[in-house]
Amino acid sequence: WSISLPAACQVVFGLAPTFGRVPISNHTQFTMLKVGPLAATARDAAYAFAALAAAAGPDHPYSQMYGPQGLPPASLYRVMETQTLEGVRLGVFWDHFLDADPEVAQHSRQALQDLVALGAEVVNISIPNLAALSMAHGIAISCEFSFGQDHLFHSKHPLEPNTVIQLGIGNSITAKEFLASNWLRGWAFERLRTLFAAHRLTAIVTPTMGSVAPVLDPGASVCGESNTALIMQMMKHIFIANLVGFPAVSVPVGYSTEGLPVGLHLMADHWEEATLLRLSVALEGRLQRRRPTVFYDVQLSDRSSAPSSRSGDGSA
């Protein structure tokens, strides 16, 4: 979610690969931590992914799980082939898809129709128990976060108040609750794999967020902000990819009347990052992106120049 949500709020592409695709050192401690690119264009996201997804070494947990052959190789196969999307099947759980602000739902639905115009097919699906799965995700990630930072929490290390609250929440969760969340996680994994196979799905599509970026409370600049309910609400369309480790991408598809960005979220089966990048390329040309109201041109030779506000009523 630390890839998809920032991407949706900043009019950029955010690719969260399959869990374990990009090797990092602490996969055994954090089971929902992903590393992926935030990029200005779909092509940049593809290049960055190819560079990040280097072959995992023999000591990587996924290499050990998969045996001598290691992980399936990273690929950019057919990423730029977007003249037609015939054969692409996009799963949509409409009750969930439309559980968003009207403008967000409108832009997301139009982007879906743009994919259909290229030959993709929409397949009606359902995913039961989403509320329970969202809670399972919150419990599991809170426990892992609290476990990883436990030494800071109990050593009275100076932390922001909102971080102290979050660590405290994680420390208050019982072993029974944590085990129950992982039972639900296993159920969700099997349910989604079955869903992809039974309907021959290419991706499952939702808005990235059900609303545009929320207004930041003025007091947050002083002491941070603890608003777990808001975080859960912002994550309601994307948490499941994080919970089960599936790859997903957020693609910019529109702006609200206030000029704030709207993102579309596409989730594929394990190791199908190239498919997500191909759909991102297909969508990229449909949006006329706006320059932010405050804009720093990093190509200026004089880096001390003041920010430009020459154009745009768009996002920050």
Average pLDDT rounded to a whole number, residues 50-79: 77
Write out pLDDT tens, residues 166-217: 888 888 999 999 999 999 999 999 999 999 999 999 999 999 999 999 888 8
User: What's the CA gap between 37 and 40, in Å, rounded?
Assistant: 10
User: What's the CA gap between 106 and 155, in Å, rounded?
Assistant: 49
For tokens 């430009």, the residue is 308
Tell me, what's the pLDDT at 158? Answer: 84
Q: Are 258 and 275 in contact (CB under 8 A)?
A: no
Burial classification of residue 66, based on how many CB atoms lie within 10 Å of its CB (0-12 exposed, 13-18 middle, 19 or more buried): middle
Average pLDDT rounded to a whole number, residues 239-244: 95
Average pLDDT rounded to a whole number, residues 49-62: 76
Cross-strand bridge partners of residue 90: 122, 203
Tell me, what's the pLDDT at 22? Answer: 86
Q: Are 178 and 143 in contact (CB under 8 A)?
A: yes
Write out pLDDT tens, residues 141-163: 999 888 888 788 788 788 888 88
pLDDT exceeds cutoff 60 at 305: no
Tell me, what's the pLDDT at 277? Answer: 98
CA quadruple 53, 55, 56, 57: dihedral positive or negative?
Answer: negative
Question: Side chain identity at 100, as an amino acid letter?
Answer: A
Residue 146 to residues 32, 48, 195, Cα–Cα distance (Å):
14, 31, 33
- Backbone dihedral angles phi then psi of residue 315, each to the nearest 5 degrees: -80, 165
pLDDT exceeds cutoff 50 at 310: no
pTM for this entry: 0.89
**Confidence tier at 314 by pLDDT (50, 70, 90):** very low
